[in-house]
């Protein structure tokens, strides 16, 4: 086994809540739980709140000025596992989540001489919360976008919670995490770790 494969896997949790760092959020609660389930596998995790950064609109890796996306991009390409957590707003991923994905579009024009994007070999999974419905729709949107810009999705690459329709309960209000969410999260964590280890040891060969 190579020395590279012996290093701990690194997971980056991108929190796309609309809330600022001084407020608690359901997205943070579920993303943090995913991180907790990754720790028994020896995975090192970092949780990043996207609203803490100035992310300029655009589809390049650096839009200049006060754009802080280059710092986030560096974290992404240094990670083995990317978790994107988003609330559901108007049946859609958050605007913060969409902006981050738009910036990852730059990967399409940054392939190496074997046509591999910077995101190649990195595993992505999705975390969704809402107080009505839309988790399947939102995860489908994110799956397509993440795969389109070069990430690899494991089996069962989403965990989510949505509350009862026309009610006001949020995930952050729950005293206990429902067993179905526990099971989905543990499966997501195990599959992310397995696939990330496989891709680290056997990278995509690309082609010329």
Where does the pLDDT of residue 3 fall: very low under 50, low under 70, confident under 90, or very high at 90 and above? very low
Residue 165 has pLDDT above 50, yes or no: yes
How confident is the model over 58-98, as pLDDT tens digits?
Answer: 999 999 999 999 999 999 999 999 999 999 999 999 999 99
Residue 208 lies in a domain: no
* Domain-located, residue 206: no
Q: For the domain that residue 95 is a member of, what is the CATH number?
A: 3.40.50.360
Domain count, the chain: 1
Characterize 155-168 residue by residue with b for buried, 16 or more Cβ atoms within 10 angstroms of its Cβ, and e for exposed. Answer: eebbbbbbbeeeee
Q: What are the tens digits of pLDDT across the range 6-55?
A: 799 999 999 999 999 999 999 999 999 999 999 999 999 999 999 999 99
Q: Which residue has the tokens 């496989």?
A: 198
Rounded to an integer, what distance in angstroms lies between the CA atom of residue 160 and that of residue 180? 9
Q: 192 in a domain, yes or no? A: yes
Cross-strand partners of 12: 46, 82
How far apart are alpha carbons 56 and 72 in whole angstroms?
12
* DSSP label of 43: -
Domain assignment present for residue 156? The answer is yes
- pLDDT, position 1: 35
In a domain, residue 207? The reply is no
Among the listed residues 35, 50, 192, the one whose alpha carbon sits nearest the alpha carbon of residue 200: 192
Domain coverage including residue 128: 3-201
């Amino acid at each position: 086994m190579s020395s590279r494969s012996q290093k701990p896997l690194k997971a980056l949790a991108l929190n796309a809540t609309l809330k600022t760092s001084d407020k608690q959020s359901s997205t943070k609660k579920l993303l943090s739980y995913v991180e907790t389930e990754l720790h028994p596998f020896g995975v090192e995790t970092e949780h990043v709140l996207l609203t803490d950064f100035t992310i300029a609109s655009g589809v390049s890796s650096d839009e200049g000025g006060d754009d802080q996306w280059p710092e986030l991009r560096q974290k992404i390409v240094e990670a083995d596992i990317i978790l994107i957590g988003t609330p559901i707003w108007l049946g859609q991923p958050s605007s913060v989540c969409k902006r981050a994905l738009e910036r990852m579009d730059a990967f399409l024009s940054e392939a190496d001489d074997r046509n591999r994007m910077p995101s190649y070999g990195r595993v992505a999974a999705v975390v969704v919360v809402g107080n009505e419905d839309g988790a399947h729709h939102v995860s489908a949107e994110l799956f397509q976008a993440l795969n389109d810009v070069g990430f690899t999705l494991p089996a069962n690459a989403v965990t989510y919670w949505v509350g009862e329709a026309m009610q006001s309960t949020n995930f952050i209000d729950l005293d206990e995490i429902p067993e179905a969410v526990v099971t989905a999260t543990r499966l997501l964590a195990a599959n992310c770790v397995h696939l990330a280890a496989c891709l680290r040891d056997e990278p995509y060969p690309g082609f010329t």
